Amino acid sequence: MAQKLKQINDISIGDNLRKLRNAANLTQEQVLAQLQLRNLPTSRSVYSQIEA
């Protein structure tokens, strides 16, 4: 019998990212710099939209 995945109605990835960033005392610019060092280029605008 196939198992069904439990659906989560409230996925707040952006909220979780913001909380983790704030807990680490990092600015969005600092997070972006770390992402770029790991070859994951993105803009501040895109990252801001993800958090929102």
pLDDT in tens, the chain (52 residues): 455 555 556 668 888 999 999 999 999 999 999 999 999 988 999 999 988 8
Q: Does the pTM of the predicted model rise above 0.85?
A: no
Number of H helices, E strands in the chain: 3, 0
9 DSSP assignment: S
pLDDT at 4: 57
